[in-house]
Structure 1
Amino acid sequence: MLSLSPPRSSWVAFVAWGLLLSTAPGCRDSSPSTSDAGVSDDSGTPDAGAPDSGTPPWDGTYTVLEERGDGTGDPGVLSRCALVPQVGESPAGGCFDPSIFDLSSCDTSTLANVPTNGIYQVRLREEHALADGGVGGSYYTVTMGLRGDGGTSTFYYRPVSHDARDTDSLLVGTTVPVRDGGVTYTLAGCEAPNDHYFTGCFVRCTNGRVVERATADAHRMVWREGEAESSGGLELVSETYVPQGTPLDVYVAKNHAFVVSANAYLRPGKPGGLSIYDVTDRRHPVLKKVISLPDDQLWNSVWTKGDALYVASQDTGIVVFDITNPVDPQLVRRVPTSAPLAVHTVLVDGDRLYGMGLWPSNNTLVFDVSKPLEPMLLQRLSFPLVDTYDAPHDAFAYQGRLYISHMQSGLHVVDVENPNDMKLLGTYAYPNSTAHHNAVGTFAGRTIAFEGGENHGAHLRVLDVTDPTHIVKIGEFQLRPTVSIHNILLVGTRLYITWYQEGVRVLDVSNPTKPRQIAHFNTHRETDPERTDDVFEGAIGIRVPGDGYVYVVDTSRGLLIMNELPLDTQAGGAPKTAP
C-alpha cells in the first residue's frame, strides 16, 4: 500500500549507495512540463514525443509476452570442462590446484586467443541437483579484468592473488580472508574460439571446502562482433575529459553543460562535484568552473528549471544552485531541510520537482518549485520494500502520473495530480527486478512505457500501461546477456539508451512491439584512461535537448557531444542521412 508521510524534522542516519554493486499543498500547477525543445534556457529530457507518436504504422494491436525476468532461468552448461571435487569435499592440493579441473574435453590450445589485457563480464552457471536426479542450474555474472602489463588483474570484484596464464592454460583466482581461514574464487579456462570470448569452469571454496561449482563463459567488453564505432549517422562532434571524480550525468541549459560527478571508488582520491562547460561551440566545449564541496561528494543526477539547478546528492539530499550566471553557480540551499537524505536522481515536471531518495527512508520526495530557487516539500511517497536494496532509483512524469522505477519492486504508477491525494495505481514487477529508468509516451492511443533495469543482463521492456491495474509486456529488446542499461530517453519515435559497455543505442519504436536499432555509438574502449572492469562502466548519462546534438556522459571519456539524428517523419521515424 502507498503511504504518505509529511515532512519530518528528526535527524536520521543514511547509507550512500552509488556505483557499487522533487507553495503549500494544493492542486498541481497546470503549466506545461519541461519539454525537449532545445531553447537556450531549458533543454532537458523530453517528457514524450508528439501527443500520439505511434500512428502510423502501429495499429495498437499486440500479443502479450511472457515475463521471464532478468538473469533468471537456466542458460544450460556453458563449458565442456568439469570440476572434479563435489560440493562439501576438500581438495588435497587446495582450490588453486589445476588438477581439480577436468579439461580433457577442452581445446586448451585455443586459450592462446585470450589477450594479455582484457575486460570481461563472466557468467557463472551454478549447478543444482534436481528432484528427478538430474542437474539443473541458474546463473549470475561477475567481472574480471586481466592485466599483463604490470598492473593488478581483478576477478570477482577483487584483486587476483593467483594468476597462471600461458598459451594453453588460464587459471586465475582470488582469496578473501575470513575468520579461521578464507574464501577462494578460482576460474580455469577451457577454450577460446576468438579473442573476445572464452569458456571455463569455476569453484568457490570456504576454508578449503568446495561450496560452489559452476561452468562459465567470459564475454570481453569490446565492441560487438562486426560493429564499427558508430552507425546510422550518429557521429562524434567533440570529446572532453572530465577530471572531476567519476562523471555520471549531464544537463544542458543556457548554452552550458552541467556535469555532475561522484567521488566513487573508480577514481580514488578524486572528489566529486559539478563541472560547468560552455558549449556555445559544440565542437570545442570550454571548462568554466568546477565546484566541489568538502561534505558533499557523491553527486549522481542534475536538472534545471529557469535559474535554478538541482543536484541529486547521495550525501545530503538535493543541492540547489542559482545559475543566473551559468558560469558561476551560487549555492542557495539543500532540501529537504529537516534531515539529510541520500537522493539518487532528480526530475522536473512543470512546477514539480521529484527527488528519488535511497536510504534511510526510501522515499520519492515531491516539491513545489513554482519559485524555482525555493523548493517547498509537499509530500513523501513511500512503498512497501521487497528487500534491503529496494528503493526508487529514477522516475518519469507523464500526463498527471509519475512512473517510478523502484528497483526490486518494479515499476510503480502513481497518480500525482493532487499532492494531498496521491494514489498508487498499479505496479509491474518481474523476477530479479532492478528497475532503474523509464520513459513513457502515447502510441496508437495507448500509453506505452519503455523500462530498463540496472544489472548484468538487464534489458529493455515495452509495457502497455494504459490500464495501470493490468500492465502487460508487449515488446522487448536485448543486447549481450551480461551488460546493463542505464538511462532511457524517448524523442518522438526514437528511443535513446545509454547502455554502459554497449555505448549509445538508438531504437525506432514507432511500432513499440518491435523495437528496431537504427543507430549506435560505441563509447566504451578497454584502453580508455581509468577504465575498469566494473559493471557500471561506459555510457551512463544522456540528454537530447532538441538543439541538434546528443550529450552523453561516459564514466571514463567524459562529455561526448554527438550530432542528433535527423528524423524523416514520412518514413516512420527512420533517420535520414546525416548532413
Structure 2
Amino acid sequence: MALESPVVRAVLVGLTLLSLACSDDKPRQPEPPPPPPPVDPWDGTYTPLVDPTDWEDPGEYAPCTATVARGTTFDCDSPALFDVSKCDTASLATLDPHGIYQVDLRNEDVYPDFVGLRVPRGGGVGTMDTRPLTRQELTGRFHVTSRFEFANAQRQVALLGCQVSRPGYVTGCYARCTNGKVGGTGTFEAARMTWGRGEAESSGGLRLLSETAVASGQPVDVYVDGHHAYVVSVTWGSRTPGGLTVFDISDRARPVLTKKISLPGDSYWNAAWTRGDALYVASKDTGVLVFDITERANPTFVRNVPGGPPLNVHTLFVDGDRLYAVSPGPSAHGETLLFDISKPLEPTLLNRIVVSDTTSYLPSAHDSFAYQDRLYVNHFSSGYVVFDVKDAMNPRELGAYTFASDNSTSMSHAGAVGTFGGRTIAFEGGEYQGTHLRVLDVTDPTNIPLIGRYKLRNQTSIHNMVLKDKRLYIAYYQEGLRVLDVSIPPQPKEIAHFNTFREDDPERSDGLLDGAIGIRVPGDGHVYVVDTSRGLLIFNEP
C-alpha cells in the first residue's frame, strides 16, 4: 500500500482542526432537567368523621303492624297475624314470582336481624336461609314462611309484604315464632339481588376474559403464581367436598385444569398463598397445609403445621420471610400464628399473637395484613387491632379501632394498608348487615380516626380486598367486583365495576355471603376473582 504524501497528510490535519473549530463555535445544549418527583394528589389533611356504625336504625320500614302480642299462641303462617290496612298492597302486583332477596329485619326492640330468601324461576320449592319454604307467594302478594326445628324447638319465620317501596325493594312485617307462640315481631326491607341502582353488567373498561367452573365444593379464594392459579374450596351444603384446584393460565382466555387435590377428612380449605416453591393452604381442620410446587402444575403435599391438636386456620398473609396464619378457633378468642418461612417448605412457628380484648360479644380473629413492621388484625367485634411485630418474639399491641355500636352487626373482616400523603392509611371492610368500607388513619395506632367511607346496599357486604398502587379492588359478594380510586383516601371513588352475581347461576343460594368472594391483582395485567357459583373469573386490569 502506498504511503500518504506530506501534502495529503497536511490537508487531512487541517480539515480535522477546522471541524473541531466549527464544532466549538456551536452553542452547547444544556442537559434536560430530571423529571419532577410524582406529586401525591393528597396532602394528608382531612376532617375526622363520626362513625355511624354499620347498621343505622332506619325506623319502621313499613306501616303494617303485628295483630297479636309476644307470647300469644297463634298460627304464624296466617296472614291475619299482620294488619296491612295502611299499606299499598296493590304495588305488590308488580313483583316477579321469583327472585333472590336479602332481607333486613328490624324488630320492635330496635335490634337488627336478617334472613335470605330464594324463590326459583319456573317453580320449585324456595328457601329461607337455605331451609325449605312452607309458604311462597310472590304473585300479587309477598307472603313467605319457613318452619324448621332448631335447638329442640319448632321455629317459624313469616314475612308478609306491605308495599314495593322502590324498584327492587319490598317492605313489610315479620314474626319469629317458637312452638306455636309469637316471639319477636317487627318490620323488614327485602332487597332483590339483581344488579343494584340499575347498573349495566360492567363499567370502566372491565372485560371478562374467561369464566371457569370449579367442581370441588364451593370456591372461595385464589392465589396466582406466574402462569398458575390455585383455587381453594370449602365443603358447603350438598356440594362435593372442597379442596385445591390448579389451573394453567398461560392463556388467560382459556385456563386449563391441571390437578385437583383433597385429603381424607380435611376438605374445608379457605385461603392460599405461595412463597418460593411452597404453597400454603388454610385448613379448617389441620392448620396450614404445605405443598411443594417445584412443579407448579402438580402440587405435592408435604406436611401440616404447626401440628398437634386440630386447628382452624381461616386466612393467610405472607410478608417476606414471615407467614401469618389467622385462626378463629378453637382457642377462646382466636389467634394469629407467626411462622418463619425463610425455608419455605419448612415453616417454623415463632409466636402466637392474641388480642387483649376478651369481653366483646365475638372476640375472634379473622384476617390480617402486614405492613412496615406492623400487623393489622381484623378481629370481628373487637375491631381493627394493630400490633408491632418487628420483634417476632415480642409482638406488642399498639391500639385498635373499635366500633361504637350496641348491636352485633359490626364485624371487622378484611383490610389493606398503604402510605398516602405521608400518612399510613388502612382500608377496613366489614361483613354482615350494613357493613361497608372504612378508611382509617392508622399513623398513630393509639388514636385512629375514621376519615372516609364507601357503602353500597345495606343488605350486602364486603368479603376481601386488594390495594394496588392507588386503586382498591373489592370482592363485594352480590355487588361483584368493585374498583375504587383511593388516591385521595377520604374520598374513595368508584371507577369500574363488574356485576358477577346472577340469580339463575347454578348453585346460587339465598345466603348473605354469596357472590364475589376471593380476589387477587398480582400485577400481570389481570384481575382474578372467585365467585361462589361461577368459579374463577379473569378480567383485564383496567
TM, length-normalised to structure 1: 0.83
State yes or no: 1:390 paired with 2:373.
no
1: CA distance, partners of 2:263 / 2:71:
51
Question: 1:325 is matched by which residue type in structure 2?
Answer: E
2:385 aligns with 412
State yes or no: 1:61 paired with 2:45.
yes
1: CA distance, partners of 2:153 / 2:422:
62
The one of 309, 323, 334 aligned to 2:304: 334
Give the direction of change, closer, same or farther, for the CA distance of 1:114–1:371 in structure 2 (3 Å limit): same
2:68 aligns with 85
1: CA distance, partners of 2:385 / 2:298:
38
List runs of 5+ in structure 2 lacking aligned partners.
1-36
Contact 2:384 2:402 in 1 (8 A): yes
2: CA distance, partners of 1:540 / 1:335:
26
SS in 2 for 1:172: strand
Q: Report the alpha carbon displacement of residue 166 of structure 1 after superposing the two structures with TM.
A: 3.3
- Could you tell which deviates more after superposition, 229-238 or 171-180? 171-180
State yes or no: 1:118 paired with 2:88.
no
1:154 aligns with 127
2: CA distance, partners of 1:279 / 1:451:
31
2: CA distance, partners of 1:305 / 1:180:
48
2: CA distance, partners of 1:58 / 1:343:
38
Q: Report the alpha carbon displacement of residue 185 of structure 1 after superposing the two structures with TM.
A: 1.1
2:319 aligns with 349
**Superposition pairs of residues 366-377 of structure 1, within 5 angstroms:** 366-377=338-349
2:175 aligns with 203
State yes or no: 1:505 paired with 2:482.
yes
Contact 1:156 1:185 in 2 (8 A): no
State yes or no: 1:127 paired with 2:128.
no
2: CA distance, partners of 1:55 / 1:507:
19
Contact 2:66 2:173 in 1 (8 A): yes
Question: 2:510 is matched by which residue type in structure 1?
Answer: D
Q: Report the alpha carbon displacement of residue 193 of structure 1 after superposing the two structures with TM.
A: 5.1
State yes or no: 1:261 paired with 2:233.
yes
Give the direction of change, closer, same or farther, for the CA distance of 1:194–1:328 in structure 2 (3 Å limit): same
1: CA distance, partners of 2:174 / 2:498:
34
The two structures, once aligned, show a CA RMSD in angstroms of 1.8
SS in 2 for 1:79: coil
Equivalenced residues, count:
499
Q: Report the alpha carbon displacement of residue 380 of structure 1 after superposing the two structures with TM.
A: 0.5
1:232 aligns with 204
Q: Report the alpha carbon displacement of residue 179 of structure 1 after superposing the two structures with TM.
A: 8.1
2: CA distance, partners of 1:196 / 1:286:
39
1: CA distance, partners of 2:151 / 2:389:
51
1: CA distance, partners of 2:65 / 2:121:
27
1:459 aligns with 436
2: CA distance, partners of 1:177 / 1:297:
27
The one of 246, 249, 262 aligned to 1:292: 262
**Superposition pairs of residues 274-289 of structure 1, within 5 angstroms:** 274-289=244-259
Question: 1:367 is matched by which residue type in structure 2?
Answer: F
| CA-to-aligned-CA distance 1:271-299 (integer Å, 9 cap, x gap) | 11110000000010000110111121000
Contact 1:202 1:216 in 2 (8 A): yes
The one of 231, 238, 241 aligned to 2:213: 241
State yes or no: 1:426 paired with 2:419.
no
| CA-to-aligned-CA distance 1:407-440 (integer Å, 9 cap, x gap) | 1111111111111211001111103431111000
2:273 aligns with 303
Give the direction of change, closer, same or farther, for the CA distance of 1:497–1:161 in structure 2 (3 Å limit): same
2:286 aligns with 316
State yes or no: 1:478 paired with 2:452.
no
Contact 1:260 1:272 in 2 (8 A): yes
Q: Report the alpha carbon displacement of residue 109 of structure 1 after superposing the two structures with TM.
A: 2.0
1:358 aligns with 328
Question: 1:153 is matched by which residue type in structure 2?
Answer: G
Contact 1:114 1:195 in 2 (8 A): no
List runs of 5+ in structure 1 lacking aligned partners.
1-52, 129-136, 566-579
State yes or no: 1:530 paired with 2:507.
yes
2: CA distance, partners of 1:289 / 1:360:
31
Give the direction of change, closer, same or farther, for the CA distance of 1:445–1:366 in structure 2 (3 Å limit): same
Runs of 4+ in 1 over 4 A off after TM superposition: 178-181
The one of 517, 521, 528 aligned to 1:540: 517
Q: Report the alpha carbon displacement of residue 178 of structure 1 after superposing the two structures with TM.
A: 6.1
2: CA distance, partners of 1:179 / 1:257:
42
Question: 1:342 is matched by which residue type in structure 2?
Answer: N
Give the direction of change, closer, same or farther, for the CA distance of 1:212–1:375 in structure 2 (3 Å limit): same
Question: 2:158 is matched by which residue type in structure 1?
Answer: T
Contact 1:113 1:195 in 2 (8 A): no
Q: Report the alpha carbon displacement of residue 56 of structure 1 after superposing the two structures with TM.
A: 2.7
2: CA distance, partners of 1:329 / 1:289:
8
SS in 1 for 2:93: helix
Percent of residue pairs identical: 52
2: CA distance, partners of 1:238 / 1:165:
35
2:146 aligns with 174
2: CA distance, partners of 1:546 / 1:355:
24
The one of 188, 203, 224 aligned to 2:160: 188
SS in 2 for 1:343: coil
SS in 2 for 1:505: strand
Q: Report the alpha carbon displacement of residue 104 of structure 1 after superposing the two structures with TM.
A: 1.4
TM, length-normalised to structure 2: 0.89
| CA-to-aligned-CA distance 1:286-333 (integer Å, 9 cap, x gap) | 001101111210000000001000000011100000000011111111
**Superposition pairs of residues 486-505 of structure 1, within 5 angstroms:** 486-505=463-482
Q: Report the alpha carbon displacement of residue 556 of structure 1 after superposing the two structures with TM.
A: 0.3
Question: 1:372 is matched by which residue type in structure 2?
Answer: P
Contact 2:478 2:514 in 1 (8 A): yes
State yes or no: 1:252 paired with 2:229.
no
Contact 2:161 2:171 in 1 (8 A): yes
| CA-to-aligned-CA distance 1:208-227 (integer Å, 9 cap, x gap) | 32221111111000101221
The one of 399, 405, 420 aligned to 1:443: 420
1:10 aligns with none
2: CA distance, partners of 1:334 / 1:272:
17
Specify which structure has the bigger relative contact order, considering alpha-carbon pairs within 8 angstroms and separated by 6 or more residues.
1
1: CA distance, partners of 2:315 / 2:345:
18
Contact 1:182 1:207 in 2 (8 A): yes
SS in 1 for 2:108: strand
Larger Rg: 2
